[in-house]
Structure 1
Amino acid sequence: MDVDEFWDLIERSGRETDTREARVAWLVDELSQRPVEEIIDYDIWWTTTRDRGCTIDLYAAYWFVFQKGSLNGFEYFVNWLVGLGRDTFEAVADCPDRLIELPQVLHLLKPKDLYAKRRPRNPERMSEDRPEFESLAYVASDAYEQVTGKDPTGLSEAVHARRASGGFPLIPALGSVPHGEQWDFDDEQELARRLPRIARYRDQR
């Protein structure tokens, strides 16, 4: 499996299903019909793709746009970003400031009208809209377990044996933090320099 096939699976899963649960099941089913080597390939591309999004500037963009700072939440946010497809992911990974221009993000940030606030909120719909997608990370391990009947640890070992590694999970105590030069998020000038679109959005909010 090459990178184009990896992205084809990610994007087809979004087109073929209506919910996140169904999307994960679709991907697991697709991978379960393939040789173990392809499951390993998929996980390697997943790992290297997410690692590309594990940067301090993208973490800052997540922090300022969604007003969240959890490192676990950031990991699940990067999963969600991958789930939006190759073009979207690569555009934001290359320039995190573009996050504020995504239609999917603008929809989430749009003020709700007074009537909408009074209506009962649908927990399922809220879950589907949330810019985090934790379970997308478990696709390869679930497929590996189904095909081999073995613990997914074997998948992790196979991935590492091929020198694929990623930044997640982030564990500050062990020195694991987003890639890139660390900077003070309270520094207004640095924010404006690194993320000018997001800085303007924050000032107007």
Structure 2
Amino acid sequence: MQMGDFWLLVDEARREASDSSTLGRDIAEVLAARLAAATPDEVLDFDRCFRRAHRRAFQWNLWAAAELMWGFCSDDSFSGFRAGLIGLGHDAFERIVTDPDALADHPLVQRIARGEVDALVLYMEPLEHVAAQVYGRVIGDDDAFWDAVQERDAQEADDKHSPGVRFDLGDSAEVRRRLPKLSALFLGDTRAVR
């Protein structure tokens, strides 16, 4: 599976899911169903593609975006947020990792800002577990996935990725400078970045 194939699967799953509080789980279920007939190697390829996209989304400006939208962001929640960016689909993901402030233009983020859907709809941790769950079903051993990933990772070179320049996420002036549109949506005069 190449990145293009991965994104086709994600985009199909995204189209089938609604923007409800269970969006991440819904996308994960569709992906798992699509991968159910895959070979173990194809599932590992899916995981490799997911990890590449997930690493690309590790950016300080995106961490600040999660802080703006949620009012907090731990390591674990940022991982789920990055999965959520993948869950938005290929076109949205590319726009957002290129320009994190483009999150402000996404219809789902605008609905979050208006209070129509919960901000945590972008926390899509279930997407992080699709490959492991499917691999366990295909092989018949829930623990075999991590051994296979470790073996594969030892054979592949790591993608080099820079998360950008780290900055104080508590510096609201800097956050506003880096994310002006997103700040306008979520900060206004009443919310502060922690």
Aligned to 1:14: 14
Match of 2:81 among 67, 77, 80: 77
Residue 50 of structure 2 aligns to which amino acid in structure 1?
Answer: W
Count of residues in correspondence between the two structures: 182
Aligned to 1:52: 56
CA distance in 2, matches of 1:154, 1:14: 29
Most deviating of 52-61 and 66-75: 66-75
CA distance in 1, matches of 2:14, 2:175: 33
2:156 is paired with a residue of what secondary structure? coil
Displacement of 1:50? 0.5
CA RMSD of aligned residues (A): 2.7
Structure 1 residues 200 and 16, CA gap change in structure 2 (3 angstroms): closer
* Residue 157 of structure 1 pairs with residue 141 of structure 2: no
Does the 8 Å CA contact 2:112/2:118 hold for their aligned counterparts? no
Residue 181 of structure 1 aligns to which amino acid in structure 2?
Answer: V
Residue 56 of structure 2 aligns to which amino acid in structure 1?
Answer: R
Q: What is the percentage of aligned positions where both structures have the same residue?
A: 27
* Equivalent residues in 2 for 1:181-196, closer than 5 Å: 181-196=165-180
Displacement of 1:137? 0.8
Deviations 1:93-125 (A, max 9, x none): 11111112211011011046xxxxxxxxxxxx8
Does the 8 Å CA contact 2:27/2:87 hold for their aligned counterparts? no
User: Please, what TM-score do these two structures have when normalized by structure 1?
Assistant: 0.77
* Residue 97 of structure 1 pairs with residue 81 of structure 2: no
Most deviating of 192-201 and 99-108: 192-201
Runs of 4+ in 1 over 3 A off after TM superposition: 16-23, 164-167, 186-189
CA distance in 2, matches of 1:17, 1:200: 28
CA distance in 1, matches of 2:17, 2:32: 13
* Residue 108 of structure 1 pairs with residue 101 of structure 2: no
Structure 1 residues 50 and 186, CA gap change in structure 2 (3 angstroms): same
User: Please, what TM-score do these two structures have when normalized by structure 2?
Assistant: 0.81
1:130 is paired with a residue of what secondary structure? helix
Aligned to 2:35: 31
CA distance in 1, matches of 2:27, 2:180: 35
Displacement of 1:87? 0.5
Does the 8 Å CA contact 1:48/1:166 hold for their aligned counterparts? yes
Structure 1: which 5+ residue stretches go unaligned?
113-124, 168-177
Structure 2: which 5+ residue stretches go unaligned?
none
CA distance in 2, matches of 1:39, 1:183: 37
CA distance in 2, matches of 1:110, 1:197: 14
Deviations 1:171-199 (A, max 9, x none): xxxxxxx9332112343443343222234
Rg comparison, structure with higher value: 1
CA distance in 1, matches of 2:29, 2:69: 30
Displacement of 1:88? 0.4
Aligned to 1:131: 122
